[in-house]
Amino acid sequence: MHGSHETGSPYAPHTDDGRTAMLEAVGVETAADLFDIPAAVAFDDEFGIDARTERETRRLVRSVLERNDELTELLGRGHYGYYIPSLVDHLADRSEFLTSYTQYQPEVSQGFLQALFEYQSLLVELTGLEIANCSMYDAATALGEAATLADRVRDTSGHRVLVPDILREGRRSTLENYVAGTDLEVETYPTADGNADLEALEEIVDEETVMIYAENPTIRGTIEENLSAIGESAADAEALFVLGSDPVALSVLQRPADVGADVVIGDASVLGLPTSYGMGLGLFACRDDYLRQVPGRLVGASEDATDRRAFTLTLQTREQHIRRERATSNICTNQAWVALRTAMHAATLGPTGMVELANRGVRRADEVAQRLDDLEGVTAAVHDRHHLREFVAHVDQPAQEVADALEERGFAVHVVGEHELQLCVAGVTDEQLDAFVTAVSEVVR
Amino acid sequence: MSDERTTAETPIDASQVRYDQARYVENGQYEPLLSEKDLTRVAIGDADAGEEGEATRVDSPLPDDLTRDSLELPELSEPELARHYTRLSQMIYGIDSGPYPLGSCTMKYNPKFTEDVAALPSAAVHPDRSERSIQGTLELLARLQDYLGRIGGMDAVTLQPPAGAAGEFVGIRVAAAYHEHNGEGHRDEVIIPESAHGTNFATAALGGYDVVSLPSNEEGRVELEALEAALSENTAALMLTNPNTLGLFERDIEEIAEMVHDVGGLLYYDGANLNALLGRARPGDMGFDVMHYNVHKTFATPHGGGGPGAGPVGVVEDLEPFLPAPRVREANGGDVDYELFDPDHTIGHVHGYQGNWLVLIKAFAYIARLGDDGLADASAKAVLNANYLASQLEYDVPYEPFHHEFVASAGEQDAADVAKRMLDYGVHPPTTKWPEIVPEALMTEPTEIESKETLDRLAAAFNAVAEEGDEVLEDAPDRTTARRIDQTSAARNPRLSWQALTDDE
């Protein structure tokens, strides 16, 4: 019977007899009688949305999305499309993972809690910091949460949050929104070819500074060489040193704890998610001094009544459902399932695979830069720095013109200056890179 | 419950129901951690490989002073991982496992085809792609904005907020920007009923507002006199859930809206309970100025163990210029059909890119599948189910008439213990001990997806527990993967990673 209905929700399995018995038990004639809505605000019109069969709906979504061009994406700047092993899709899509909710009853949620505990442990190893939460929405909101953490934990008053002048607009703007309810003000410090201008930064930092933010690799794909010095500047000012990075980069780059980072934020979905139009996974790790001030959920180990180790959400007195307006954050629904996918992807790679993936990003970016540099009309990379995954190239022609011509040939690239393109090799195959270099050679002059 | 209601014959004998969740025990422990199966140390650069046991050397092309010394993580084969994660999944209760009447969370069945459409290769696009190359993505977003606008009675919608609470934050930031723009930046108070979701309070505080808490009247609704007293020229907004967390419709909504608007404040609608109203009433028609939609609740997108969700925000025309940037719209001529644009007085971004796109696809597909009739039917059956289930319970339900959810009281029993015992009957328990208006609250929301037979089983489980003594309840659960977990020691001695477990030993 359930499949034979013509109208109504296909996922409400009521039979006529069942519904009649229920109405009788409740003591009304129709379900409409149960709605206690004053006539003045009742809705008696239609939305004008036609119902469709499952097959028709699939066809509709597919036909809309087919309007997207199939392009080889040499795009990065914080969002990467690494190949995701099939194991991740198949296991993460098991319906218990997909169709459960926040683990308010830990006794029936051990599997998810353990997976999140393993995710937290992955971040602890990668950052060297003692605490990682089990997700924020994305890097931008994690950065915002880091600033409000700085506002809470810093002993002395102060209002300055320092960020690099090349911080992505989406991150900067999100940060501004997060600090709008505080006295904090976001200011920038200068950079050169992506990296911090250390001298200028040191002059800017003062006792009013509550937080210094740096990224490694930078938004331009370069490796930040002055992390320890930035960390010292922050420590001297008693400001929080917040470092932005991601799990692939952290597999080989200097360990944040070793350069004085107090908080690490970033997008952990570089592992586990495809290029999903910017959907992300906010990484958030910090020193254990801030345990009671951490935003977001934490999974901890405990014991059950049989004295076996068991996992549970813990330190919930920081959270909005307990402490309301005194909570450390308003986050409730987070990105748990993405965290699961990230942990699965990392586990599939193992430490050797993680390091190799990062190293490949260094080697291939170098190789492609070299091949482009050999072309007339291109200088790549434009800087003499180490880089990971991506780099900036100078083109003699207007960059937008080159990008448009490349798009016509099936390649998407960033335009980051009048004559600057940014190119990312993560997630691109060797064959695609060969074809890309050929395309560039046809386009530039 | 009222006397004229009759109790249907319950065909289920709860004592005959026994649930056993998967449980693996190895060396006295449940499924081992990946780190306990293997932990491989990889040395990088010039690190001394022998320093901490065996290590595999991996050279990095980067200079040693820019790289770490080592990395220590599990290194397991694919078959081992497949078994590990399969076992973990078997130790989780989801909506596909059985009833999940977690009040306020709207745990509905998630159609499987939405996973397939979200996994289409054409959905995987980088957020920095040119507009002309992602017309499909932009069209789908525009169409979803349109659907949501119609469903909520709102003039404009942003899809950027990645969760309900993030949607609340957009509402608060938009309200602040609107008041500021009108030279009313002095408004520093947000009024919130006591029974509201905790996120409302946290969000208002995050936005820098003072929270004015509003008590409920004896009927469990907004007390108009208390509202009158709370309203002033400092009021920026009232955040309201309707129906509220007791499942009760705020019948005085027109008057409430008028009172808030009279002092120049804005009325914010928390969409957590929208499933109760689909096709019956719209926040826009009730006088709400801004609202969020929990698409993972109302539109059956999987909750994913706690996310991702998405929290689109709808606003009336006056507030449109303040919405987050960028937004999507149909292009007015030019070489594309859809384009991104920044509203005139935008608050800027609240997410690095455009929110949780894969979740938005699922919401779009769900709405397109159900259409007008399906959405209204879902709402009608959700309300019928809640009322029927309540009518079958031995527990007292003090506030009515409710819509899609109700709050029962466990009375002399401890609601948390009741919840643990319900697990033994193979059902997920309701939300417990909240809202605090009802002592030992059991906040129950069966949703439209349960049949009468399932509701009878659910009621049988409730009623079986209602008859049981403290001893049984305190010892529960014993048929789940883990037995009762010590929450206190988890908080007192936080061990938040496998590294912390090792340090402990």
**Nearest-neighbour CA in chain A from B113: distance (Å):** 7
Asked if A130 and B500 come within 8 Å (Cβ–Cβ), the reply is: yes
pLDDT of the residue at A7: 72
CB-based contact B113 A7, cutoff 8 Å:
no
CA of B110 vs chain A CAs: smallest distance (Å): 7
Looking at residue B51, what is its pLDDT? 54
Of residues A242, A245, A178, the one with CA closest to residue A212: A242
pLDDT at site A233: 97
The CATH number of A72-83+350-443, from 3.50.50.100, 3.30.70.20, 3.90.1150.10, 3.30.70.920, is: 3.90.1150.10
pLDDT at B52: 56
pLDDT-derived band at B255 (thresholds 50, 70, 90) equals very high
Identify the bridge partners of residue A164 per DSSP, sorted by sequence position: A189
pLDDT above 80: residue B54: no
Cα(B453)–Cα(A19) distance, integer angstroms: 11
Query: B133 contacts in A (CB within 8 Å)?
Result: 68-69, 71, 407, 412
Size of interface A-B (CB pairs under 8 A): 678
Listed residue (A229, A211, A205, A201) closest to A146, CA to CA: A211
CB-CB neighbors (< 8 A) of B166 in chain A = 137, 141, 331
Give the pairing of strands A263-267 and B156-158.
Answer: unpaired
Residue pLDDT, tens place only, B418-471: 999 999 999 999 999 989 899 999 999 999 999 999 999 999 999 999 999 999
The answer to whether B92 contacts A141, with C-beta atoms less than 8 Å apart, is no
- Could you give the percent of chain A with pLDDT greater than 70? 98
pLDDT of residue A1: 35
Is A86-343 assigned to CATH 2.40.30.20?
A: no
Chain A residues touching B349 at Cβ < 8 A: 140, 169-171, 173-174, 177
B interface mutation test: which of A277, A289, A337, A386 has the most B CBs within 10 A? Answer: A277
Subunit contact A320:B201, Cβ cutoff 8 A: yes
| Closest by Cβ to A8, choosing from B41, B377, B428 | B377
Please indicate whether, in this complex, the C-beta atoms of B4 and A344 are within 8 angstroms of each other. no
User: Residue A407's closest chain B neighbor by CA?
Assistant: B133
- Minimal C-alpha gap between A375 and chain B (Å): 24
Which secondary structure element, helix H or strand E, spans residue B192, and what is its range?
Answer: strand B189-193
pLDDT at B491: 95
> Are B207 and B200 contacting, i.e. CB atoms less than 8 angstroms apart?
no
Looking at residues A377-406, what average pLDDT do you find? 97
Contact, B289 vs B318, CB < 8 A? yes
Chain B: give the shortest CA distance to residue A34, in Å.
Answer: 7
DSSP-based three-state secondary structure for B182: coil
pLDDT at residue B28 tops 60: yes
> CB-CB: which of B35, B305, B352 is closest to A280?
B352
Cα separation, B114 vs B28, whole angstroms: 41
Q: Which CATH number fits domain B155-368: 3.30.70.1400, 3.30.540.10, 3.40.640.10, 3.40.605.10?
A: 3.40.640.10
Cα gap A225→A195, rounded to integer Å: 7
Q: How far from each other are the two terminal CA atoms of chain A, in whole angstroms? A: 68
In angstroms, the CA B311 to CA B381 distance is 24
- Whole-number average pLDDT of chain A: 96
For chain B, the domains span 21-90, 155-368
Please state the separation of Cα A401 from the chain's center in Å.
31
Mean pLDDT of B58-67: 93
Phi, psi of A131 (to 5 degrees): -125, 135
pLDDT in tens, A28-87: 999 999 999 999 999 999 999 999 999 999 999 999 999 999 999 999 999 999 999 999
pLDDT in tens, A414-443: 999 999 999 999 999 999 999 999 999 999
Nearest residue of A to residue B279 by CA position? A43
Q: What are phi and psi of A392, to 5 degrees?
A: -105, 135
Q: What is the pLDDT of residues B94-103, one digit of tens each?
A: 999 999 999 9
Residues A101 and A108: their CA atoms lie apart, in Å, by 11
Q: Indicate whether A225 pLDDT > 70.
A: yes
Q: Between chains, do A252 and B308 touch, taking CB under 8 Å as contact?
A: no
* B5 has a pLDDT exceeding 60: no
Q: What is the pLDDT of residues B380-428, one digit of tens each?
A: 999 999 999 999 999 999 999 999 999 999 999 999 999 999 999 999 9
Report phi then psi at B498, rounded to 5: -70, -25
State the pLDDT at residue B48: 60
For chain A, which residues make up each domain, given as ranges? 1-59, 72-83+350-443, 86-343
Residue A290 has pLDDT above 80, yes or no: yes
Tokens at B9, concatenated = 């014959």
What local confidence, expressed as pLDDT, does residue A5 receive? 43
pLDDT exceeds 60 at position A4: no
Cα angle B160-B163-B167, degrees, rounded to a multiple of 5: 65
Cα(B195)–Cα(B402) distance, integer angstroms? 15
Instruction: Choose among A98, A267, A355: nearest Cβ to B44.
Output: A355
- Mean pLDDT over residues B289-301, rounded? 96
pLDDT recorded at residue A190: 98
Taking an 8 Å cut-off on Cβ atoms, the answer to whether B490 and A43 are in contact is no
* Residue whose C-alpha is closest to residue B346's, from B384, B385, B315: B315
pLDDT tops 60 at residue A6: no
Minimum distance, in Å, between the CA of residue B430 and any CA atom of chain A: 10
Q: CA angle, corner A147, sides to A145 and A148, nearest 5? A: 65
Per-residue confidence (pLDDT) for residue B12, from 0 to 100: 65
| DSSP three-state, residue A165 | coil
Write the pLDDT tens digit of every residue in B322-378: 999 999 999 988 899 999 999 999 999 999 999 999 999 999 999 999 999 999 999
**Which one of B78, B388, B448 has the shortest CB-CB distance to A9?**
B448
Strand A298-303 and strand A309-314: the pairing is antiparallel
Position B109 scores a pLDDT of: 97
| Residue appearing with tokens 């991104």 | B340
Asked if A278 reaches chain B (Cβ–Cβ under 8 Å), the answer is yes
Interface of A with B in 375-394 (CB under 8 A): 386, 388
Taking CA atoms, B342 is separated from A416, B155, B158, B325, in Å, by 20, 17, 11, 5
Which residues in chain A are closer than 8 Å to B95, comparing Cβ atoms? 99-100
> Which residues does residue A162 pair with via DSSP β-bridges, in sequence order?
A187, A212
Is residue B272 predicted with pLDDT exceeding 90? yes
Question: Quick one: which H or E segment has residue B256?
Answer: helix B253-262
Q: Nearest by CB to A304, which of B4, B483, B491?
A: B483
pTM of the predicted model as reported, rounded to 2 decimal places:
0.97
Q: Please give the pLDDT value at position B2.
A: 42
Nearest to B19 by CA among A97, A103, A98, A108: A108
Hey, are the CB atoms on B87 and A254 less than 8 Å from each other?
A: no
Which residues of A fall within a CB distance of 8 Å from B450? Answer: 13
Q: Which of A9, A277, A291 sits opposite B125 (nearest CB)?
A: A277
Contacting residues of B for A21, CB less than 8 Å apart: 8, 452
Contact A241, A162 (CB under 8 A): no
Residues B189-244 have pLDDT tens digits of 999 999 898 899 999 999 999 999 999 898 999 999 999 999 999 999 999 999 99
pLDDT tens for each residue of A127-138: 999 999 999 999
Contact residues, A window 186-215, toward B, CB-based 8 Å cutoff? none
Q: Does A59 touch chain B (CB under 8 A)?
A: no
Looking at residue A322, its pLDDT comes to 82
pLDDT, one tens digit per residue, over B466-491 is 999 999 999 999 999 999 999 999 99
Enumerate the residues of chain B whose CB falls inside 8 A of the CB of residue A225: 66
In chain B, the percentage of residues whose pLDDT exceeds 90 is 88
pLDDT attached to residue B4: 45
Which residues of chain B does A151 touch, with a Cβ-Cβ cutoff of 8 Å?
A: none
Q: What is the pLDDT at residue B504?
A: 58
The dihedral through the CA atoms of B473, B478, B480, B486 has a sign that is positive
Average of per-residue pLDDT across A337-362: 97
The mean pLDDT of B23-46, rounded to a whole number, is 91
